[in-house]
């Protein structure tokens, strides 16, 4: 196992910059997820670590060793692909052992490693089958087994669960996390699914347009997003972001263009009248003002859609010209067309400057 350091990394395809100066320090044994919208450069970054793409500038270190110029097979990292990339004509056992036989490992050692990986992943009964005789989840497990037998310094996963159905995806993400806890191998995991990243990773790197927007533990990103982009990207349903002007005469609040007052629990470091973005998560609305709500402070919200999920009720509401999503743990009896009094919890509000989207504290 080893740490991975990515320093001032740049990469372009033709004239199009794709990685635009990335710095990430991944600790030995850490599970780091790379997330961001499609096209932000996640896969390219992972493939550059694997050596499948060459960096134009910057350094990639595995432990103390700079690996920019090392051939992919000599980098001592193992990649797991979205499409599994199994050899269709080989059995599971042969698929697992193939990489090791190419390396010239003695047969008995290959057999031992294949056996150990099969046990780790529950593949013992499937060793004689071919890939087409396996379910999607089993194929994914074989693809992981092929990485495990190599006993690499790091695992690189490229959207490994996107081809599985929703239920299997949730099951496999638990399996991969448990596997990481058992093996403790440094892992870099690319996904466009922020829930996957939140649930699996020790730390998340949010990328946009080839740059790092924020690096942090899942709940750090959730509670303290550094900018409006991260605020909107992390969390599902997404944070509600409402534009307005900061008001600091009297109790601090944001006044929307519709004339609604959004409460703040303290004055941020910005000037009266500044254009700002007020962020509030769906679970940070109440319909009773927390028990002691000042009725005058309630926002008039018109119910559009009610979505009971069982564990909570999500409600889409019209607030002035904005649509917001609120999520309530309790079961609320609201109907489309009805007007609800809505209180955003002031202490949970996030504030960003409208021009740059930077967090205002
Ligand atoms: P992500 O994984 O975040 O969806 P990618 O790293 O796959 O993004 O791609 C980032 C950008 O680089 C995209 O605009 C994509 O079209 C472009 N790109 C990726 N691979 C190549 C390539 N081999 N040649 C040219 N452009 C590429």
CATH number where 258 lies? 2.40.50.140
* Contact 38 CB / ligand 1 (< 6 Å): yes
Cα(42) to centroid(ligand 1), Å? 8
204 in the same domain as 138: yes
* Contact 210 CB / ligand 1 (< 6 Å): no
* Contact 153 CB / ligand 1 (< 6 Å): no
* Contact 42 CB / ligand 1 (< 6 Å): yes
Residue-wise pLDDT tens digits, 17-60: 999 999 999 999 999 999 999 999 999 999 999 999 999 999 99
Q: Does this model's pTM top 0.85?
A: yes
Give CA–CA dist 109/113, Å, rounded.
6
Distances (CA, A) of 339 to 100, 184, 252, 259, 287: 66, 52, 26, 17, 11
Residue 74: burial class (beta carbons within 10 Å; 0-12, 13-18, 19+): exposed
Give CA–CA dist 294/297, Å, rounded.
5
Cα(40) to centroid(ligand 1), Å? 8
Task: Provide the pLDDT confidence category of residue 164 given band limits of 50, 70 and 90.
Answer: confident
* Contact 40 CB / ligand 1 (< 6 Å): yes
Q: Assess contact for 198 and 222: CB atoms under 8 A.
A: yes
Query: Token pair 């519709």 is at which residue?
Result: 258
- Strand-pair category, 31-35 with 203-208: parallel
Q: Which residue owns the Cα nearest ligand 1 atom 21?
A: 13
Buried b (16+ CB within 10 A) or exposed e, 318-331: ebbebebbbbbeee
Structure tokens at 141: 């497990």
Mutate to test the pocket of ligand 1, among 15, 39, 212 (most ligand atoms within 8 A of CB): 39
Task: Provide the pLDDT confidence category of residue 168 given band limits of 50, 70 and 90.
Answer: confident
Structure tokens at 82: 């979205």
User: Is residue 293 predicted with pLDDT exceeding 70?
Assistant: no
Average pLDDT, the chain: 94
Beta strands in 209-293 (DSSP E): 211-216, 240-247, 253-256, 261-263, 275-280, 285-286
318 in the same domain as 273: yes
* Contact 37 CB / ligand 1 (< 6 Å): no
Helix (H/G/I), strand (E/B), else coil: 313: strand
151 in the same domain as 43: yes
Task: Provide the pLDDT confidence category of residue 297 given band limits of 50, 70 and 90.
Answer: confident
* Contact 18 CB / ligand 1 (< 6 Å): yes
Ligand 1 nearest atom to the CA of residue 37, by list position: 3
249 in the same domain as 100: no
**What is the count of structural domains for the chain?**
2
Q: Assess contact for 30 and 188: CB atoms under 8 A.
A: no
Terminal Cα-to-Cα distance of the chain (whole angstroms):
39
Q: In sequence order, which residues have a C-beta less than 8 Å from that of residue 103 and are 6 or more positions away? A: none
Instruction: Say what the pLDDT of residue 331 is.
Output: 87
The answer as to whether 205 is a domain residue is yes
* Contact 87 CB / ligand 1 (< 6 Å): no
User: Is residue 292 predicted with pLDDT exceeding 60?
Assistant: no
Domain end (from 232, 265, 282): 232
Q: Assess contact for 24 and 212: CB atoms under 8 A.
A: yes
Helices (H) and strands (E) in the chain, counts: 8, 20
179 in the same domain as 45: yes
CATH of the domain at 108: 3.40.50.300
Q: Which residue owns the Cα nearest ligand 1 atom 16?
A: 39
Comparing C-alpha atoms, which of 54, 130, 122, 53 is closest to residue 89?
A: 130
Which of 29-33, 68-72, 80-84, 131-135 has the weakest average pLDDT?
80-84
Give CA–CA dist 90/131, Å, rounded.
8
The answer as to whether 361 is a domain residue is no
Q: Assess contact for 31 and 180: CB atoms under 8 A.
A: yes
The answer as to whether 48 is a domain residue is yes
222 in the same domain as 281: no
Give CA–CA dist 150/47, Å, rounded.
18
130 in the same domain as 98: yes
Beta strands in 252-353 (DSSP E): 253-256, 261-263, 275-280, 285-286, 299-308, 313-319, 322-328, 339-344, 350-353
Q: Assess contact for 240 and 281: CB atoms under 8 A.
A: yes
Query: Token pair 């989840």 is at which residue?
Result: 137
User: Is residue 291 predicted with pLDDT exceeding 70?
Assistant: no
Instruction: Say what the pLDDT of residue 85 is.
Output: 87
Mean per-residue pLDDT, 79-97 = 93
The answer as to whether 58 is a domain residue is yes
Ligand 1 nearest atom to the CA of residue 158, by list position: 2
The answer as to whether 360 is a domain residue is no
Domain end (from 176, 204, 232): 232
Cα(7) to centroid(ligand 1), Å? 20
Segments forming the whole domain that contains residue 291:
237-353
Mean per-residue pLDDT, 50-78 = 96
208 in the same domain as 274: no
219 in the same domain as 315: no
Instruction: Say what the pLDDT of residue 165 is.
Output: 87
Q: Assess contact for 308 and 316: CB atoms under 8 A.
A: no
Cα(215) to centroid(ligand 1), Å? 21
Give CA–CA dist 10/58, Å, rounded.
6
209 in the same domain as 336: no
Instruction: Say what the pLDDT of residue 245 is.
Output: 98
196 in the same domain as 330: no
Task: Provide the pLDDT confidence category of residue 306 given band limits of 50, 70 and 90.
Answer: very high
228 in the same domain as 298: no
Domain end (from 232, 257, 280): 232
Calculate what percentage of the chain has a pLDDT beyond 70.
98
Task: Provide the pLDDT confidence category of residue 221 given band limits of 50, 70 and 90.
Answer: very high
User: Is residue 139 predicted with pLDDT exceeding 80?
Assistant: yes
């Amino acid at each position: 196992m080893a740490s991975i350091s990515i320093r001032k990394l740049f990469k372009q395809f033709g004239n199009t910059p794709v990685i635009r100066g990335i710095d990430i320090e991944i600790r030995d044994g850490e599970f780091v997820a790379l997330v961001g919208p499609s096209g932000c450069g996640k896969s390219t970054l992972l493939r550059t670590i694997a050596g499948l793409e060459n960096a134009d500038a910057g350094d990639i270190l595995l432990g103390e060793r700079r690996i920019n110029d090392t051939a992919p097979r000599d980098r001592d990292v193992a990649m797991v692909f979205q499409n599994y990339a199994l050899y269709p004509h080989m059995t599971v056992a042969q698929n697992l052992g193939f990489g090791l036989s190419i390396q010239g490992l003695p047969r008995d050692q290959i057999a031992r490693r294949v056996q150990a990986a099969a046990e780790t992943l529950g593949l013992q009964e499937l060793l004689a089958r071919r890939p087409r005789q396996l379910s999607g989840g089993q194929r994914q497990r074989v693809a992981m087994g092929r990485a495990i037998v190599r006993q690499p310094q790091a695992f690189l996963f490229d959207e490994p669960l996107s081809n599985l159905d929703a239920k299997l995806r949730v099951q496999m993400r638990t399996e991969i996390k448990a596997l990481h806890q058992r093996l403790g191998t440094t892992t870099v995991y690319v996904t466009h699914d922020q829930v996957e990243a939140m649930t699996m990773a020790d730390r998340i790197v949010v990328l946009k347009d080839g740059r790092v927007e924020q690096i942090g533990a899942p709940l750090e990103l959730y509670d303290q997003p550094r900018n409006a982009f991260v605020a909107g990207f992390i969390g599902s349903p997404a944070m509600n972001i409402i534009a307005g002007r900061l008001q600091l005469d009297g109790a601090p609040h944001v006044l929307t263009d519709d004339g609604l007052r959004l409460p703040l629990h303290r004055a941020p470091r910005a000037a009266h009248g500044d254009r700002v973005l007020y962020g509030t998560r769906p679970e940070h609305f109440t319909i009773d003002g927390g028990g002691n709500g000042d009725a005058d402070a309630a926002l008039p919200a018109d119910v559009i859609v009610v979505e009971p999920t069982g564990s909570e009720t999500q409600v889409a509401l019209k607030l002035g010209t904005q649509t917001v999503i609120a999520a309530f743990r309790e079961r609320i009896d609201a109907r489309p067309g009805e007007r609800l009094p809505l209180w955003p919890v002031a202490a949970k509000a996030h504030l960003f400057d409208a021009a740059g989207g930077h967090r205002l504290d």
